[in-house]
């Protein structure tokens, strides 16, 4: 039975309904935990707050999409996903 590293990524935006998180699966026979996490490239962004000041933050990019945060969830087998 195949096993996968599971990473949850939070989408950018205030209200994405049920699309707030996306889950990604990386086969353990190809990716180590560190390699799976490294697929999400850290990028520096800025946001303009209501006080008219810009504030930096770290976001993550994967496959052309930007995510606010990522979390490693562990290993799951194919029956669990």
Q: Say whether 57 sits in a helix, a strand or coil.
A: strand
* pTM score, whole prediction: 0.83
Instruction: Say if CB 40 and CB 7 are below 8 A apart.
Output: yes
Q: What is the pLDDT along the chain (81 residues), one digit of tens a residue?
A: 999 999 999 987 666 566 788 999 999 999 999 999 999 999 999 989 999 999 999 999 999 999 999 999 999 999 988
- DSSP-derived secondary structure letter, 64: T
Q: How many residues does the chain have?
A: 81
Q: What is the pLDDT of residue 20?
A: 84
**Nearest-angstrom CA–CA distance, 71 and 7:** 6
Question: Which tokens sit at 66?
Answer: 């930007």
């Amino acid at each position: 039975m195949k096993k996968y590293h599971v990473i949850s990524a939070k989408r950018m935006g205030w209200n994405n309904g049920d699309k707030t998180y996306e889950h990604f699966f990386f086969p353990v026979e190809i990716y180590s935990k560190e390699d799976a996490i490294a697929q999400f490239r850290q990028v520096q962004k800025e946001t303009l707050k209501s006080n008219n000041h810009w504030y930096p933050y770290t976001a993550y990019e994967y496959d052309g999409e930007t995510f606010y945060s990522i979390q490693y969830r562990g290993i799951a087998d194919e029956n669990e996903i």
